[in-house]
């Protein structure tokens, strides 16, 4: 990279989560941007502080201890720009996921068209859909108004009408929103995003402009029946999210001032990087990013020029955790545990974790429960997001992804790379050949926010080794008797040595390959087995190493666990032992 492209500006980035606030310092080292240090502190959104700024300052104070640099002055304000005495930083950005999910109402025309787009748009940030109204809604106008008055949504998303198309029907849908806004106290009025027929923008402004807390417009999410374009509306929705958070969360105004307005929702910032990486990684496969923490589970995927983003607060591991039981059962969570844990103990853990989301496991039993809950929540998130992916050649399975990136505070608590890898294999259940990369410092959202200030920094940090490669994974798709041979593997190292493995159904095999090294891997599947080259087809591919080397997951897709609890726990223990857990 030519030195002239490097601006030599240092940058401090902060991610404000529900449980943890992380501060990361980037600077130029030997002519290129590098991650210099990272530090964290408990978030202070909730009692007794009720001020996000306290957590940010605590995280920066911890970063000062690590780096030996002074970043805050005596008044605990950020020193910017960088000073001749070595204190301060040139630029500051922030991302935020903390705070309750925004109550959101959807208004549109056709359920499978404009309302479907509105729902996918709402899922692109931290929202909870509380009401939906379309043409097939049989409620009377006063009933719709009563519903909005009772629910008091934070946001109303209005879609409908192709550009130059329906206007009378859309106008009729606007009336309950306007009347409800008029009847609500000014501080309770919702923000409104209109992403429908652009011909109606002026009319919408006249009807709703004075009865909403904020009124934003974006290009039509459905300019035609066959076309959907959510990105411009997602950008406006991100702005609405931040406006509401600044009203809700004390201290966020100060942080936004430090950042000169460069604050983004964490999921939106993460998706910016996924869109970029989806174009950087060529080939027929997509790129997948999963992130799970106290606020939400986030699943983002890039497919060339196209990307998808799904944010699920209902699968977050913080105060929303009890809501997980609306989508699954205690028994389904416990199927991932290697220990014999009762449903009562699991239920107690879930409610305690909801009260204290920053707590970490103190015993092996708590660790097993925490990882089981994380597995099930992430599994549900990935399976829900799968509907937005291109259709897989095998119904019910994920399409191929290369690579898969994983982050979030829930994965920070996993003690070994092997346990992290097994958790991700169980929850995501990838197919074929892929590389799994762990974002231990939750850098992706911060790099997405940093790109607004410095487009070179994210590129160079991505290439610097700041992410941990867990290795190459081969996920076998097969249906066979447990213990039967499903594939043979032969790996030739660059020095000529070889390693071989016979992969049996239900097993995990590991071939050692250090980080930074590569080798040639030859796979020969049994009849009816797919190892990534097609059913029954073998092949040779060059693979890269990582913390776990090359892992061949012979447990089949979809992963089916035994119904007998004793046998199931023994299998889970065996898999944990195999990965060094």
pLDDT of residue 2: 42
Q: Judging by DSSP bridges, how do beta strands 297-303 and 286-292 pair with one another? A: antiparallel
Give the pLDDT score at 112.
85
The pLDDT value given to residue 442: 92
Check whether 312 has a pLDDT greater than 90. Answer: yes
Secondary structure element (H or E) that encloses residue 250, with its range: none
The rounded Cα 54 to chain-centroid distance in angstroms is 25
pLDDT at 47 > cutoff 70: yes
Confidence of residue 390 (pLDDT cuts 50, 70, 90): confident
Q: Which tens digits make up the pLDDT trace of 395-437?
A: 889 999 999 999 999 998 899 999 999 999 999 999 999 999 9
Residue 418 contacts residue 385 (beta carbons within 8 Å) = no
Of the pLDDT bands very low, low, confident and very high (cuts 50, 70, 90), residue 455 is confident
Closest to 359 (Cα-Cα) out of 290, 415, 312, 413: 413
User: Among residues of the chain, what percentage have pLDDT more than 90?
Assistant: 80
Say what the pLDDT of residue 283 is. Answer: 66
For residue 282, what pLDDT band results from cuts at 50, 70 and 90?
low
Q: Does the pLDDT of residue 180 top 70, yes or no?
A: yes
Distance (Å, whole) CA 94 – CA 255: 8
Question: What is the DSSP code string of 90-103?
Answer: SEEEEEE--SPPEE
- How far is it, in rounded angstroms, from Cα 554 to Cα 476? 5
Furthest C-alpha separation in the chain: 78
The whole-number pLDDT of residue 1 equals 40
As a whole-number percent, the residues of the chain with pLDDT over 70 amount to: 98
Provide the mean pLDDT of the chain.
Answer: 93
pLDDT at residue 166 is higher than 70: no
The answer to whether residue 568 scores a pLDDT higher than 90 is yes
At residue 494, the 3 state secondary structure works out as: coil
In this predicted structure, the answer to whether residue 4 has a pLDDT above a threshold of 60 is: no
On whether the CB atoms of residues 333 and 344 are closer than 8 A, the answer is no
At 332, is the secondary structure helix, strand, or coil?
helix
| pLDDT at site 7 | 59
Residue (of 291, 165, 309) closest to 231 by Cα position? 309
Say which range, 7-16, 22-31, 120-129, has the weakest mean pLDDT: 7-16
Which candidate, 290, 294, 269, 289, places its Cα nearest to that of 98?
294
* 325-351 tens-digit pLDDT: 999 999 999 999 999 999 999 999 999
Three-class secondary structure assignment of 437-483 = EEECCCHHHHHHHHCCCCCHHHHHHHCCCCCEEEEEEEECECCCCCC
Q: How confident is the model at residue 453 (pLDDT cuts 50, 70, 90)?
A: confident
Asked if residue 294 lies in contact with residue 347, where contact means CB atoms within 8 angstroms, the answer is no
3-state SS track over 109-175? CCCCCHHHHHHHHHCCCCEEEEEEECCCCCCCHHHHHHHHHHHCCCEEEECCCCCCCCCHHHHHHHH
Q: Give residue 190's pLDDT.
A: 97
Tell me how far CA of residue 336 lies from CA of 110, 330, 345, 418, 504, in angstroms: 40, 11, 15, 15, 21
Domains of the chain from N-terminus onward: 3-96 (3.10.20.370), 102-248 (3.40.50.2300), 267-314+386-578 (no CATH)
What pLDDT does 160 receive? 84
| CA gyration radius, the chain | 25
| Of 160 and 509, more confident | 509
Query: What's the gap between Cα 238 and its chain centre?
Result: 15
**pLDDT-derived band of residue 486, with 50, 70 and 90 as boundaries?**
very high
Task: Give the tens place of pLDDT for each residue, 112-147.
Answer: 888 999 999 999 999 999 999 988 888 998 999 999
């Amino acid at each position: 990279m030519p030195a002239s492209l490097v601006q030599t500006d240092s940058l401090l980035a902060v991610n404000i989560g529900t449980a943890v606030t992380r501060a990361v310092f980037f600077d130029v080292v030997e002519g290129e941007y590098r991650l210099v240090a990272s530090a964290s502190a408990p978030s202070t959104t909730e009692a007794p502080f009720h001020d996000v700024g306290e957590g940010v300052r605590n995280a920066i104070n911890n970063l000062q201890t690590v780096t030996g640099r002074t970043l805050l002055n005596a008044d605990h304000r950020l020193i910017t720009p960088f000073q001749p005495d070595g204190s301060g930083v040139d630029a500051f950005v922030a991302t935020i996921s903390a705070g309750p999910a925004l109550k959101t109402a959807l208004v549109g025309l056709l359920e499978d068209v404009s309302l479907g787009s509105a729902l996918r748009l709402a899922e692109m940030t931290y929202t909870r859909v509380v009401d939906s109204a379309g043409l097939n809604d049989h409620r009377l106008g006063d009933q719709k108004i009563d519903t909005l008055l009772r629910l008091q949504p934070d946001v109303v998303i209005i879609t409908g009408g192709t550009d130059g198309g329906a206007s009378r029907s859309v106008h009729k849908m606007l009336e309950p929103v306007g009347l409800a806004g008029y009847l609500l106290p000014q501080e309770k009025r919702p923000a409104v995003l209109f992403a429908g027929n652009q011909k109606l923008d002026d009319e919408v402004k006249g009807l709703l402009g004075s009865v909403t807390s904020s009124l934003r417009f974006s290009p039509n999410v459905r300019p035609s029946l066959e076309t959907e374009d959510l990105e411009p509306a997602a950008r406006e929705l991100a702005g609405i999210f931040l406006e509401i958070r600044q009203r809700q969360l004390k201290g966020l105004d100060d942080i936004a001032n430090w950042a000169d307005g460069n604050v983004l929702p964490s999921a939106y910032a993460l998706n910016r990087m996924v869109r970029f990486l989806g174009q950087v990684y060529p080939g027929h496969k997509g790129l997948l990013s999963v992130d799970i923490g106290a606020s939400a589970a986030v699943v983002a995927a890039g497919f060339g020029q196209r990307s998808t983003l799904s944010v699920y607060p209902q699968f977050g591991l913080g105060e929303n955790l009890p809501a997980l039981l609306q989508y699954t059962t205690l028994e389904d969570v416990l199927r991932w545990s290697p220990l014999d844990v009762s449903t009562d103990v699991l239920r107690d853990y879930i409610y305690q974790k909801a009260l204290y989301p920053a707590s970490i496991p103190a015993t092996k039993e708590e660790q097993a429960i925490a990882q089981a809950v994380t597995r099930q929540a992430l599994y549900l998130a990935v399976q829900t997001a799968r509907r937005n992916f291109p259709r897989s050649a095998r119904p019910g399975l994920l399409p191929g992804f290369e690579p898969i990136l994983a982050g979030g505070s829930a994965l920070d608590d996993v003690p070994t790379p092997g346990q992290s890898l097994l958790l991700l294999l169980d929850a995501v259940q990838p197919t074929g050949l892929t590389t799994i990369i762990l974002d231990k410092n939750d850098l992706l959202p911060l790099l997405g926010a940093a790109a607004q200030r410095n487009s070179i920094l994210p590129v160079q940090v991505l290439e610097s080794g700041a992410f941990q490669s867990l290795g190459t994974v081969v996920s076998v798709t097969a249906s066979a008797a447990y213990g039967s041979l499903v594939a043979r593997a032969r790996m030739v190292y660059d020095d000529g040595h070889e390693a071989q493995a016979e992969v049996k159904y239900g097993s995990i095999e590991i071939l050692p390959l250090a980080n930074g090294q590569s080798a040639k891997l030859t796979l020969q599947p049994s009849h009816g087995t797919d190892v990534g080259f097609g059913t029954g087809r073998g092949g040779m591919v060059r693979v890269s190493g990582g913390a776990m080397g090359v892992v061949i997951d012979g447990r089949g897709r979809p992963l089916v666990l035994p119904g007998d609890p004793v046998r199931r726990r023994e299998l889970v223990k065996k898999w944990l032992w195999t990965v060094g857990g």
